[in-house]
Amino acid sequence: MKLFKQCILTALLLLVSAFLSAVTAQTSEGEETEGWHLKSREKSGFYGIALDKAYEFVKGKKGKTIIVAVIDSGVDTTHEDLKDNLWRNPKEIPGNGKDDDGNGYTDDVYGWNFIGGKDGRNVKEDSYEVARVYHKFKSKYEDKKINVAELSADEKAEYEMWLKASEEIAPDATEMMNLFFLKKLYKETQGLDSVLAAGIGKKDFTGGDVDNYNPANDDEAKAKKKIKSFYENLGLDKSLVVKEILEELNAYVASLEKKAEQQEVAPKNYRAEIVKDNYDDFNDRFYGNGDVMASTPFHGTHVSGIIGAVRNNKKGVDGIATHVKLMTIRAVPDGDEHDKDIALAIRYAVDNGAQVINMSFGKSFSPEKKWVDEAVQYAASKGVLLVHAAGNDHKNIDTAWNFPNPVFQQSKKKASNWITVGASSDPSFDQSSPEGKYNSLTASFSNYGKEEVDVFAPGMKIYSTIPGGNTYGNAQGTSMASPVVAGLAAFILSYYPDLSAEQVKWVIENSVSKTDMKVRKPGTTEDVDFSLICKTGGIVNAYEAIKLASTLKGERSKTRELKPF
């Protein structure tokens, strides 16, 4: 579902919603736009992050290896462009069934899977937090006369959360329309891949293969026409496999059906059946398994490649950071992640030497936010920077609930070691609105916020690693923008390792590229100043950031020196 949601969801919903938009590129699919997010405007015309100029600036300077933790859905540990840059636990002996380093996690070779069972099974799908919250407190609050003045602070927060969940759990008319349309679309496309498979001569053929195929009969001609129309109307990358796209469409339809019934039916506890911890006891933390790839590695593999695919190896793509090791932590299912898993994932990353943590996930409710807040504070105490995707609902998260976030529940203060990232586009990419096509530096789907979104970074048509060992493709979302910033943070730290997490955040935010041109406020037809939807009002710039970093005296605590790898 991650692939479907990130790559084609906005395109599909354009057909039934006035507020979501499809994305196509004016330039042709292929090498011209591959890696555009890394390029400088002066040399290429693309509004990338000027990474080429940044590397020229540090040419001849020795870099230090930085560990970046990727909390996500899993990673393809066999990928040709990632495997040399994957973090490996130096104190763990693979496959011996022992906790060699004594950290409580047996055979955590590449990292840890917090949504797996000791028996080797793994959580793939899960419910939505809104349904979990609604049904958990339904008997406590529904049809009850509640005197808010008599509630404790914690009880008041719980009650307000349940009230919001009770408002949001009912599917609205737009969602029902989406479900109707998508079910119809799935019915029309079902089986088309099998019609063409024999003629094309392979099971896993792409949209490009369909373009180049000459049909042998009328059935094949009809199937080709429908698949071509499916890809072209939705602006899909022709390198994506037809079978996988149709499977993702089916999975997303199933998820919408599950969402439609969640008001009446309590969600299945997918996690409990497999993980078997006591969820309510935060001290019950040594659960899970070492299978960080599992069966859902698309999203995490793509994110990891953006940060640290091996550079200059004449394969696939170049990541942003050269001196990097990627720690894989699986905690995000197809559905909403659980706060306990995220809190423990952050703590695992910190305890095992990560200096940067990428978090390309999010949800609208956080019932155990206290646990996550404490983990964020723990990361801050150890000098670790957290980078989080703003979300893909084209909402103003200054007001809309969006979790995790850097605002501590108790004190209302903001974490100083946290960057929230919105997604930028390139003006050469056409985007669509109810009034027609438009061009903007902002991606149509991105969340925004003058106070809560710190920076924007490229998140449209990002070419990176995908599962398959030697496979690559495009994806889009703030999920892709966040690792651009996480990779930039690692790049800065590798050359200036004495900088604190707060200094790296300051450098990134104070070196953004600003513009006088108006940008589209996502989800609307309104063009505004960038500064009205983003705290810094700009897009990250690697060249300006590394120059600024070079002028600072490092303030990293001597008790938290970067670990040698």
CA-based radius of gyration for the chain: 23
Segment 306-326 mean pLDDT: 97
- pLDDT confidence band for 362 (50 / 70 / 90): very high
Cis check for the bond before 404: say yes or no (omega within 30 of 0): yes
Which range has the top average pLDDT, 13-17, 92-96, 261-265?
Answer: 92-96
Last residue of a domain, one of 235, 261, 287: 261
- Residue 316, SS3 per DSSP: coil
* Between 249 and 345, residue with greater pLDDT: 345
Segment 94-98 mean pLDDT: 94
Three-state SS string over 116-136 comes to ECCCCCECCECCCHHHHHHHH
CB atoms inside a 10 Å sphere around CB 96: 10
- Residue 293, SS3 per DSSP: coil
Is the same domain home to 56 and 181? no
Answer whether residue 284 is part of any domain.
yes
- pLDDT confidence band for 185 (50 / 70 / 90): confident
Is the same domain home to 105 and 165? no
Last residue of a domain, one of 226, 261, 296: 261
Half-sphere exposure of 292 (CA within 13 A, CB side): 28
253 pLDDT more than 60: yes
Is the same domain home to 322 and 437? yes
176 pLDDT more than 80: no
- pLDDT confidence band for 546 (50 / 70 / 90): very high
19 pLDDT more than 60: no
54 pLDDT more than 60: yes
What confidence tens digit (pLDDT) does each residue in 448-496 have?
A: 999 999 999 999 999 999 999 999 999 999 999 999 999 999 999 999 9
CATH number for the domain that contains residue 45:
3.40.50.200
Segment 60-75 mean pLDDT: 97
pTM here is 0.86
What confidence tens digit (pLDDT) does each residue in 373-423 have?
A: 999 999 999 999 999 999 999 999 999 999 999 999 999 999 999 999 999
Is the same domain home to 360 and 497? yes
Average pLDDT of the chain is: 90
Is the same domain home to 307 and 219? no
pLDDT score, position 29: 41
Segment 329-357 mean pLDDT: 97
Residue ranges of the alpha helices (H) in 431-516? 478-495, 501-509
pLDDT score, position 564: 41
Is the same domain home to 481 and 516? yes
Is the same domain home to 68 and 213? no
Answer whether residue 253 is part of any domain.
yes
Cβ-contact 499, 562 below 8 angstroms: no
- What does the CA dihedral 184, 188, 193, 198 come to, rounded to 10 degrees? 160
> Which range has the worst mean pLDDT, 148-162, 184-198, 308-322?
184-198
- Amino acid, res. 389: A
Answer whether residue 274 is part of any domain.
no
pLDDT score, position 61: 97
Answer whether residue 18 is part of any domain.
no
Query: What proportion of the chain, given as a percentage, has pLDDT over 90?
Result: 77
φ, ψ for residue 58, nearest 5 deg:
-100, 10
- pLDDT confidence band for 21 (50 / 70 / 90): very low
Answer whether residue 532 is part of any domain.
yes
- pLDDT confidence band for 315 (50 / 70 / 90): very high
Q: What does the block give as tokens for 526?
A: 């309104």
**Measured CA distances, 270 to 124, 125, 127, 128, 132 (Å):** 9, 7, 8, 11, 11
Is the same domain home to 417 and 330? yes
Is the same domain home to 89 and 154? no
230 pLDDT more than 90: no
Answer whether residue 399 is part of any domain.
yes
> Which range has the worst mean pLDDT, 197-206, 224-233, 375-384, 526-535?
224-233
CA distance 440 to 224: 33
- pLDDT confidence band for 243 (50 / 70 / 90): confident
- pLDDT confidence band for 251 (50 / 70 / 90): confident
107 pLDDT more than 50: yes
CA distance 196 to 223: 7
CB atoms inside a 10 Å sphere around CB 557: 10
pLDDT score, position 140: 94
* Between 194 and 436, residue with greater pLDDT: 194
Give the chain's count of helices (H) and strands (E).
18, 13
Answer whether residue 11 is part of any domain.
no
What confidence tens digit (pLDDT) does each residue in 481-534 have?
A: 999 999 999 999 999 999 999 999 999 999 999 999 999 999 999 999 999 999
Domain limits at 454?
Answer: 34-127+279-560
Is the same domain home to 118 and 186? no
288 pLDDT more than 50: yes
Answer whether residue 9 is part of any domain.
no
Strand order in the sheet with 324-330: 111-113, 324-330, 66-72, 356-359, 385-389, 418-424, 455-458
Is the same domain home to 156 and 117? no
The secondary structure element, H or E, covering residue 436 is: strand 436-438
232 pLDDT more than 90: no
- pLDDT confidence band for 4 (50 / 70 / 90): very low
- pLDDT confidence band for 234 (50 / 70 / 90): low
Residue 232: partners with Cβ closer than 8 Å, 6 or more residues away:
none
Segment 280-308 mean pLDDT: 96
- pLDDT confidence band for 6 (50 / 70 / 90): very low
Is the same domain home to 140 and 254? yes
Last residue of a domain, one of 211, 234, 261: 261
- pLDDT confidence band for 8 (50 / 70 / 90): very low
pLDDT score, position 203: 82
pLDDT score, position 558: 55
Domains: count for the chain = 2
Half-sphere exposure of 115 (CA within 13 A, CB side): 31
Q: What does the block give as tokens for 520?
A: 């589209």
